[in-house]
Amino acid sequence: MIQYELSADDLADTRFAISPIQELVCSIWALRDPGRYTLHLPWRRAALAALAPDDLALLLSLVGKSRGLPDFLTPRPATYTPDVAEQIDQVARTPPELVRRDIAATHAPGPVPAVLRAATLHDLVGLLNRYWSAAMVADWPRMQLMLEADTTYRARQLAVGGARLLFADIHPNISWTDGALRIDQMIGHFRVSAAGRGLLLLPSVFAYKAIPPMNATEPPWLAYPARGIATLWQSAVPPGPEVMAALLGPPKATLLQLLSEPLPTVELARLLRVTPGAVSQHLQTLHAAGLVTRTRNGRRVLYRRSTLGDHLIEGA
């Protein structure tokens, strides 16, 4: 069990942050243990396809047997939404003795993997940059929106019910009693006082449980699974025909469906059993919206769906 003693001042200094490097590093768990991260399998498949084999091997070597990760790879955010480049630069400035300490602690009591022993801090910084570009940068906007939604919800919980309500549903391993935040089922065991340093809360896409720092000397922070992860990788459901009918009106929607091949106004009127004048009015509107094209063939004007109209039909 890990416990943080939080005074009234510490609770007043409780804040949230969204850390891109926290997500980048924690996502290595999903690469290593797909069975625990079934919701992230679509992301994992794309990430594995984009990673070079040597980079993948070095990434996986960062995870200890107990699933720990070196603390220096996830520096404490100074702002609500820091830039990932700034955070990676912060990692690059880590003192060598802290790098060695955190890597050894991650793999203790076993040895550090050979591929990680051979890597320098410069190598790891380059790895983080490549990993971000290959596996995270394209999906980060949707992740950030979900994490921001979680912080909005948590902030409201804190405002309405104080610390007790805030911590009530973050994770089953977390409890708040008698001025102490308890995190159960942890590998480490320590009890420390926040001592005026406050508490930093980090919602996470890839945290599978509540995660404090491994080292008791670190300022108190806690990553936790964010709300809404189950829907993160779901694709939007394409609209059905009824949506197009509601958008365009049933006559125009029907006309657009018929115009996969060039047709004249008279033929369209016959198919729809309406007057050519009524069809002409709808065609003029569709043409003005760029959904149909028209060409003259002798004395007849032929209408056909435009590329934009095709996209609208395919989406529906």
Q: Cα dihedral sign for 225, 226, 231, 232?
A: negative
Ordered DSSP codes for 236-249: PPPP-HHHHHHHH-
- What was the pLDDT predicted at 237? 55
- What was the pLDDT predicted at 287? 93
Between 246 and 280, the higher pLDDT residue:
280
Give per-residue pLDDT as tens, 253-301: 899 989 988 899 988 988 888 898 999 999 999 999 999 999 887 888 9
Q: Which of 126, 28, 117, 116 is CA-nearest to residue 69?
A: 28
Tokens of 291: 């959904």
User: Which stretch of 29-33, 125-129, 236-240 has the lowest confidence by average pLDDT?
Assistant: 236-240
Q: How far is CA 296 from the centre of its chain?
A: 51
Domain ranges of the chain: 2-231, 241-315
CATH class of 241-315: mainly alpha
For the cut 70, the answer to whether the pLDDT of residue 25 exceeds it is yes
Beta pairing, strands 300-305 & 263-264 = antiparallel
Residue pair 292/256 in contact by the 8 Å Cβ criterion: yes
For the cut 60, the answer to whether the pLDDT of residue 239 exceeds it is no
Q: What is the mean pLDDT of the chain?
A: 90
pTM, entire model = 0.71
